[in-house]
Amino acid sequence: MSTTSAPDLAIISAEERIAWAADEFGDGLILTTSFGIQAALMLHLATRVLPRIPVVFIDTGYHFPETYRFAAELTKRLDLNLKVFSPQQSAARQEALHGKRWEHGLDGLKAYNFDNKVEPMDRAVRELGACAWLAGLRRVQASTRETLDVVQVQNRITKIHPILDWDNRAVYRYLTDHGLPYHPLWEQGYVSVGDWHSSAPLLPGQNEEETRFGGLKRECGLHELSGRIDFSI
């Protein structure tokens, strides 16, 4: 890990932020993706700088069929060093033991998200020996992201948000300039895609965060600084 002082990360480009993170954290740097609506952007951006960076995908077993096909397409096209992590219990077993927890309010969602997203991500960090994490969060996506910084520490791991200050026009321009696709469900009105049971198309009068988890919450736990997860390694 570098001991040099960081540049002013608030004003440099996304590519420069990734390059700084690569210098700072070396082999301890990973990238996460949900293969969501605009996932091709961060995957392309990061792998141009770090072609073999480990790309972590948490496979809950509840992704849309379109997501799995999109993941296969981008993995092949961008030659991703994909690392797939799944929950310790299958979707069928979870439902048999606990029911459809996403239908049981905030407490049910919290338990579901911990088992299906937070715990597998914690395991990914440990097994890959990661100390830093590139994530494609953007401030315009939700009120929960408006106050994020380009670099933040979340429970012992450093998170870097290279495109935090990008707006939707910048995303569109990058994808178009590089001939990259949006997720297939973009054409059906989805602006954010996760598990099939917790994602919905954008309706008139809604904002993006209202399309996730029935509007009860925006974050699944992976990106909450006060989450239960302990990323100690």
Catalytic residues: 220
Taking each helix axis from N to C end, the angle separating 39-49 and 14-25, rounded to the nearest 10 degrees, works out to: 50
Q: Residue 177: left (phi > 0), alpha (psi -120 to 50), or beta?
A: alpha
Structure tokens at 42: 């961060």
Angle in degrees, CA 210, 224, 63, rounded to 5: 55
- Whether 59 and 86 have beta carbons less than 8 Å apart is answered as yes
What is the DSSP pairing of strand 132-134 with strand 151-154? unpaired
Structure tokens at 190: 């989805």
H or E stretch at 226: none
Distances (CA, A) of 126 to 58, 119, 215, 231, 232: 14, 11, 32, 7, 8
Q: Which of 64, 88, 233 is nearest to 158 (CA)?
A: 233
**Separation CA 165–CA 104 (nearest Å):** 34
Where are the extended beta strands (E) located within the chain? 29-33, 54-58, 81-85, 132-134, 151-154, 157-160
- Please give the backbone phi and psi of residue 154, each rounded to the nearest 5 degrees, phi first: -125, 105
